[in-house]
Amino acid sequence: MTELVILSGKGGTGKTSLTAAFAAMTENCLLCDADVDAADLHLLMQPVIRQQTDFGGGGIAQIDPQRCTGCGTCIDMCRWSAIGDGFIVDEIDCEGCGVCVDFCPEQAIDFPTKVCGQWFISDTRFGPMVHARLGIAEENSGKLVSLVRREARNLAEKRNIDLIITDGPPGVGCPVIASVGGATSALIVAEPTVSGIHDMARAIELCRHFKVPVMVCINKYDLNVENCTTIEKMTRDGGLPVVGRVPFDPLFTKAMVQGKTLPEFDGNGTASDHVRQVWAQIMRTAAMVADESTTISALNN
Amino acid sequence: MIISIASGKGGTGKTTVATNLAASVNGPVQVLDCDVEEPNAHLFLRPNFKNRQTVLTPVPDIDLDKCDGCKKCMDICRFRAITVIGDTVLTFPELCHSCGGCTAVCPQGAIAETGRELGILETGSVNGIEFVHGRMRVGEAMAPPLIRRVRDCTWSEGLTLIDAPPGTSCPVIAAMKDTDFVLLVTEPTPFGLHDLKLAVEAVKILKIPMGLVINRADMGDEKVNAYAQSEGVPILMTIPFDRQIAESYSRGELFARTLPEWKARFQALFDDIALLAEKEGNEK
């Protein structure tokens, strides 16, 4: 099975619009939205939810005022200053470490597990989709991302789907780390801006750190052609494939406003053409081809 | 006054607004770039960095000679960062949340604390702007402790602007918490609106007054405006899509410096925020 993860480092470079366009150009793929914190792919996919499951994160401290004697041990032990006046736990500050629970001499602190999101298995017009919603101001996004990817793999296996396209989150922190580990390859959607270049470099470094083969495409390339050359040089100098350029085109936004993918909205336009070429290049990269051939040879045996 | 600039969706223009605002206000201002995973504000403000320090977070360091294998450390750790197998104790520093539970619980006093590198903290200045940012080590998962270290540099008085990371989970909360005003930046598209709603809910949980900047205001539809009105979130500025602005951004320029009318508009934006924050403060 092949899993392509779409990343960018910087937010707003076009990860989700491109993920959706790729899905519209592919037969038999499964979509996975690993941006559980600000998930947007469903806005273009309009998934019909078939299965919804609660996601329980860690526990959270709750002090029972009946049992609490006000000794202050919990306040002394808490490294997040999460226990305020009147021995009330600030749920936002509580890290869920449970140290106060274990050290309370009165055993007055409960540690209930908190439901901090939901995950879904859905159907879309381009195939099945696994996605999630993390509650607002919640932690454990990395755990939820790992869960969503695991469920995506299980479902793909069950339905005989060879390709998973995963829409990743921005940044390089916990949910991104959970998105790249074990993926077949990562595509970084860069934009030709000083910040786009800076953040792309960090995203590449992250993929290398976790030994995931990485390739780069440039979105909105015509905003600064000089910076495109810089990106392409940096990428090639690092021995990585550049899989093409997509122009800045307001059609992406127009398609989004209508809840459509770019090829559905303007299948014969220039932007669609560019995206189609990028997609073809991606599927020809060594990492993607190698994995397909191993899948095929495994099937033949 | 501390103003945090946040968005929900990435790439809507947080850094653009934060840096242009910093370059426009009169008097001293401090900028804290709290997007430690992908810090960008320095690319536009170009401060001269004067100080750089490595930021560590405590993780357990086991003295096996003292350890008697009681497993209390393994039992207390909710993050599975310690495993005891026979005579050996394995620690997984990258999973450790630095709660100190294992050190405190060990009856043999066998667990000291050593440091895991979270990243670096750099400080500098440029044209009357004091600048601080954190750069998370690539491979490190936890942004909030480094964000809190950047926030520890906040001036005790005067104006501080915080460039927050995207999203609505723990890193954003760490950047917005206990600020006096949240300036949300969005774009009028379905993605922008969807993530703005999440961000507005997050700000409501924190009970902080807020206002909105709509960037690339002519590129989507009218739904963000309607939503802002229904929620009572004031729209304090709109920035049209302008290829000149987009291209100058791509080069790392501040358009408040090249287009003087924008400097005046950012000054007016600050005045509006100051009034709103003061009004809210009085109501409290």
Report chain A (301 residues): mean pLDDT per 10 consecutive residues. 96 97 95 96 98 93 97 96 94 94 97 94 98 90 95 97 97 96 97 98 97 97 97 97 96 96 94 96 93 49 37
Kindly report, residue by residue over B137-181, the tens digit of the pLDDT: 999 999 999 999 999 999 998 999 999 999 999 999 999 999 999
Q: Are residues A170 and A293 in the same domain?
A: yes
Measured CA angle at B224 (ends A24, A39), to 5 deg: 40
Contact across the interface for A199 and B177, Cβ inside 8 Å? no
Judge whether B9 and B196 are in contact, CB under 8 Å: yes
Of A192, A232, A220, the closest CA to residue B251 belongs to A192
Partnered with residue A245 across adjacent β-strands are A218
Residue written as token pair 């309607």: B226
For residues A18 and B79, give the distance between their C-alpha atoms in angstroms, rounded to a whole number. Answer: 35
Total count of domains within chain A: 2
Nearest-neighbour CA in chain B from A10: distance (Å) = 7
Does an H or E element contain A56, and which?
A: strand A48-59
The partner residue sitting opposite B15, judged by closest CB among A16, A102, A195, is: A195
- Residue B192 touches chain A, beta carbons under 8 Å: no
What are the backbone angles phi and psi of residue A298, rounded to the nearest 5°? Answer: -65, -40
Measured between beta carbons, the chain A residues lying within 8 angstroms of B246 are 223, 248
Across the interface, of A12, A92, A102, the residue whose CB is closest to B101 is A102
Domain that holds residue A91: 61-111
- CATH number at A274 reads 3.40.50.300
Angstroms from B28 CA to nearest CA on chain A: 25
Cα nearest neighbour of A251 on chain B = B219
Residues in A closer than 8 angstroms to B5, CB to CB, are: none
Do A286 and A250 lie in a common domain? yes
Please tell me the distance in Å from A50's CA to the nearest CA on chain B: 22
CATH code for the domain of A89? 3.30.70.20
Would you tell me how many other CB atoms lie within 10 Å of the CB of residue B275?
Answer: 10
Query: Cα–Cα distance between B112 and B55 in angstroms, integer?
Result: 18
CB contact under 8 A, B168 and A77: no
Cβ contact, residue pair B78, A59, below 8 Å: yes
Q: Which residue of A has its CA nearest to B35?
A: A171
Check whether residue A72 and residue A219 sit in a common domain: no
Do residue A134 and residue A50 come from a single domain? yes
Q: What is the pLDDT of residue A292?
A: 58
In this structure, the answer to whether residues A88 and A209 fall within a common structural domain is no
Instruction: Classify burial at A78, counting beta carbons within 10 Å of its beta carbon; exposed 0-12, middle 13-18, buried 19 or more.
Output: buried
Query: How, if at all, do strands B48-62 and B111-126 pair?
Result: antiparallel
Q: How far A278 CA lies from chain B's nearest CA (Å)?
A: 22
Q: Which of residues 81-140 of B touch A (CB under 8 A)?
A: 97-101, 104-105, 136, 138-140
Q: How far is CA A249 from the centre of its chain?
A: 24
Question: C-alpha angle A21/B9/B117, rounded to 5°?
Answer: 110
The position carrying tokens 């405006």 is B225
Name the strand (E) or helix (H) holding B15. Answer: helix B14-24
Partner-chain contact A98 B76, CB within 8 Å: yes
Strands (E) across A109-260 are located at: 109-110, 113-124, 127-134, 163-167, 185-190, 214-219, 242-246
The interface predicted TM-score of the complex, written ipTM, equals 0.95
DSSP states of B207-265: T--EEEEEESTTSS-SHHHHHHHHHT--EEEEE---HHHHHHHHTT--HHHHSHHHHHH
**CATH 3.30.70.20 domain locations along chain B:** 64-109
**Chain B residues within 8 A of A137 when measuring between CB atoms:** 168-170, 173, 202, 205-206
Question: Are B168 and A136 in contact (CB < 8 Å)?
Answer: yes
Say what the pTM is. Answer: 0.95
Residue A196: phi and psi, rounded to 5, are: -60, -40
Give chain A's radius of gyration (CA, Å): 22
B2-55+118-283: which CATH number, 3.40.50.2000, 3.40.640.10, 3.50.50.60, 3.40.50.300?
3.40.50.300
Q: Are A137 and B205 in contact (CB < 8 Å)?
A: yes
Residue A209 half-sphere exposure toward CB, CA atoms < 13 A: 17
Check CB contact under 8 Å for A103 and B165: no
3-state SS of chain A: helix, strand, coil percent to 5? 40, 25, 35
The one-letter amino acid code at B158 reads G
Confidence tier at B280 by pLDDT (50, 70, 90): confident
- Among candidate residues A111, A127, A142, the one where a domain is terminated: A111
Q: What is the pLDDT of residue B279?
A: 87
Q: Which fold has domain B64-109?
A: Alpha-Beta Plaits (3.30.70)
3-state secondary structure of B59: strand
Decide if B143 and A202 are in contact by the 8 Å CB cutoff: no
Please report the pLDDT score of residue A291 as a whole number. Answer: 67
**B284 — pLDDT class (breaks 50, 70, 90):** low
Share of chain B above pLDDT 70, in %: 100
What single-letter DSSP state applies at residue A137?
T
Q: Indicate if A140 and A228 belong to the same structural domain.
A: yes
Let me know whether A104 and A189 are in one domain: no
Distance CA B6, CA B167 (A): 9
Residues A222 and A101 in one domain: no
Q: Strand pairing of B111-126 and B181-186?
A: unpaired
Q: Which of residues 57-86 of B touch A (CB under 8 A)?
A: 76, 78-79
Q: Cβ A176–B37 below 8 Å, yes or no?
A: yes
Residue B155 identity (one-letter amino acid):
W
Contact with chain B for residue A198, Cβ under 8 A: yes
Q: Tell me the two tokens of residue B36.
A: 């430690």
Q: With an 8 Å Cβ cutoff, is B244 touching chain A?
A: no
Q: Are A37 and A54 in contact (CB under 8 A)?
A: no
Per-window interface: A 261-300 vs B, CB < 8 A: none
Same domain, residue pair A51 and A149 = yes
Cβ within 8 Å, pair B98-A177: no
Residue B252 with chain A: CB contacts under 8 Å: 193-195
Alpha-carbon Rg for chain B in angstroms: 22
Q: Which of B143, B160, B198, B197 is nearest to B4 (CA)?
A: B160
**Helix, strand, coil % in chain B, rounded to nearest 5:** 35, 30, 35
Tell me the backbone φ, ψ of residue A216, rounded to 5 degrees: -130, 135
Instruction: Say whether B76 and A79 touch across the interface (CB within 8 A).
Output: no
Residue entry with tokens 């590129």: B219
Amino acid A301: pLDDT: 37
Instruction: Answer whether A67's CB lies under 8 Å from A106's CB.
Output: yes
Give the C-alpha separation, B38 to A203, whole Å.
9
Chain B residues in contact with A175 by the CB 8 A cut-off are 169
DSSP state of A112: P
- By DSSP bridging, strand A83-84 and strand A163-167 are unpaired
Average pLDDT, chain B: 96
Residues A16 and A137 in one domain: yes
A130 within 8 A of A165, measured Cβ to Cβ:
no
- A–B interface: beta-carbon pairs under 8 A: 179
pLDDT tens digit sequence for B195-254: 999 999 999 999 999 999 999 999 999 999 999 999 999 999 999 999 989 999 999 999
B162 three-state secondary structure: strand
Same domain, A134 and A106: no
Question: Which of A94, A111, A128 is the last residue in one of the domains?
Answer: A111
pLDDT at A298: 42
What percent of chain B is modeled with pLDDT above 90? 94
Query: CATH 3.40.50.300 occupies which residues in chain B?
Result: 2-55+118-283
Task: Give the domain-ending residue among A111, A127, A152.
Answer: A111
Helices A225-237 and A194-209 cross at an angle (nearest 10°) of 20
8 A C-beta contact, residue B141 and residue B93? no
Q: How far is A238 from A234, CA to CA, in rounded Å?
A: 6
Chosen from A80, A193, A226 to mutate, greatest number of chain B CBs within 10 A: A193
In this structure, are A157 and A180 located in the same domain?
yes
